[in-house]
Amino acid sequence: DGLTKHYPVNGGLFSKSQQKVYALDKVNLTLYKREIVGVVGESGCGKSTLAKVLLRLIEPTEGTIHFDGREITGLDRKQMRDVRREMQFIFQDPFSSLNPRKKVIDLISEPLDIYRIGTRKERENRVYELLDIVGLTKNHADRYPHQFSGGQRQRIGIARALALNPKLVICDEPVSALDVSVQAQILNLLQDLQEQFGLSYLFIAHGLDAVRHISNRIAVMYLGKLVEVGDSEEVFTRPRHPYTKALISAIPEINPEHAAAPIKLTGEIPSPINPPSGCRFHTRCPFAVERCKSEMPELKVAEDGHAVACHLVE
Ligand code: SF4
Ligand code: MG
């Protein structure tokens, strides 16, 4: 609720400039139980910051986070420890997120060790069970991460994330470092696990196509702000924000209705340091009018629950 993260840059003792990175700006988002929400946007739009703020790996400048009915902003380390059991993280890069000196059995068992769950034998059995759940076998337990392919390593990362039976898993681009041929396998696995264990996912991705089939809803971010949130199919077939329309136009095989009049994005995403005034998308928006340069559009929820931040849509 109102999640904001600003970092000062270049300020310091000798500078009067007030440069700030607006990594996250007044983000309101609800994730329901057993729901998968895909969060998409270009690099630097704030999606990884959102993930880290939600897990309280970094503190928000403003705003609150509620998890399972409890406000977790402001909880101390010890209280947060209990909450963290239920909120896990799958990283983008299975190559760097697993300690290369540890065997698979120890990597997957680590969360169980930290929380001192069960006896040694019970933890070992739980690891075997988890290996099976993610499509690996007992024989893999004594090997090291470098002995696995990228897809297998991500399976190890997933097993580790599930060790404590979490309710929420935040997946930060879990397939984007993998070969295209392996991506679908991992997405299918994540989807099966979600159903099997009634998990909720916040599923972060660079492109819309990656989240289309897995997400119930999609949240589109641009320069630290949510610009559109809606039902996944609805966002794909009837996108309302010009930025979402442009992202969809960029997917070659998408429905011909949009392909007929593609919206081409020109230029790079501007820097989140002192981002554009008014609507942050106005420097690239083909529909921008004068008002867009000065007035920031609010994210407004329509009657059907679909939310958009654009003066034009209003
Ligand atoms: Fe484009 Fe203006 Fe809408 Fe922003 S508010 S997306 S600049 S039309
Ligand atoms: Mg990122």
Is 182 domain-assigned? yes
Q: Which pLDDT score is estimated for 47?
A: 93
Please report, rounded to a whole number, the percentage of residues in the chain having pLDDT higher than 90: 77
Name the residue of 220, 221, 311, 313 whose CB sits within 8 Å of the most ligand 1 atoms, as the mutation to test its pocket.
311
Range of the domain at 76: 3-86+166-308
Contact between residue 226 and residue 307 where contact means Cβ atoms under 8 Å apart: yes
Q: What is the pLDDT of residues 24-72, one digit of tens each?
A: 999 999 999 999 999 999 888 999 999 999 999 999 999 999 999 999 9
State the pLDDT at residue 263. 79
Q: Give pLDDT, residue 97.
A: 82
pLDDT at 257 over 70: no
User: 271-295 pLDDT, tens per residue?
Assistant: 888 889 999 999 999 999 999 999 9
Residue 198 falls within a domain, yes or no?
yes
Q: Is 118 among the domain residues?
A: no
Confidence of residue 267 (pLDDT cuts 50, 70, 90): confident
Q: List pLDDT tens digits, range 157-170.
A: 999 999 999 999 99
Radius of gyration of the chain (CA): 21
Q: Is residue 131 part of a domain?
A: no
Chain segment 218-240, per-residue pLDDT in tens: 999 999 999 999 999 999 999 99
Strand 20-27 to 3-8 pairing: antiparallel
**Of 51, 56, 30, 32, which Cα lies nearest the Cα of 40?**
51
Tens of pLDDT along 68-114? 999 999 999 999 999 999 999 998 877 788 999 999 999 999 999 99
Report d(CA 213, CA 114) in Å as an integer.
35
Residue 41 forms part of a structural domain: yes
In the DSSP assignment, the letter for residue 139 is G
- Kindly state the tokens that stand for 299: 């994210």
> Is residue 301 included in any domain, yes or no?
yes
Ligand nearest to the CA of 177: 2
pLDDT digits (tens, 9 = 90+) for 167-206: 999 999 999 889 988 999 999 999 999 999 999 999 999 8
Protein residues whose CB sits closer than 6 Å to any atom of ligand 1 = 242, 279, 281-282, 285, 287-288, 292, 297, 310-312
Q: Is the full-model pTM beyond 0.90?
A: yes
CATH number of the domain within which 300 lies: 3.40.50.300
Query: What b/e sequence results for 301-312 when a residue is b if at least 16 CB atoms lie within 10 Å of its CB, and e otherwise?
Result: eeeeebbbbbbb
Contacts of 85 (CB under 8 A, 6+ apart): 115, 164, 166
Q: What is the tally of structural domains in the chain?
A: 1
Mutate to test the pocket of ligand 1, among 221, 247, 294, 312 (most ligand atoms within 8 A of CB): 312
How far apart (Å, rounded) are the C-alpha atoms in residues 167 and 291? 43
Closest residue by Cα to residue 98 from 49, 35, 46, 140 = 140
Let me know if residue 80 belongs to a domain: yes
284 CA → ligand 2 middle, Å: 22
Q: Is residue 58 part of a domain?
A: yes
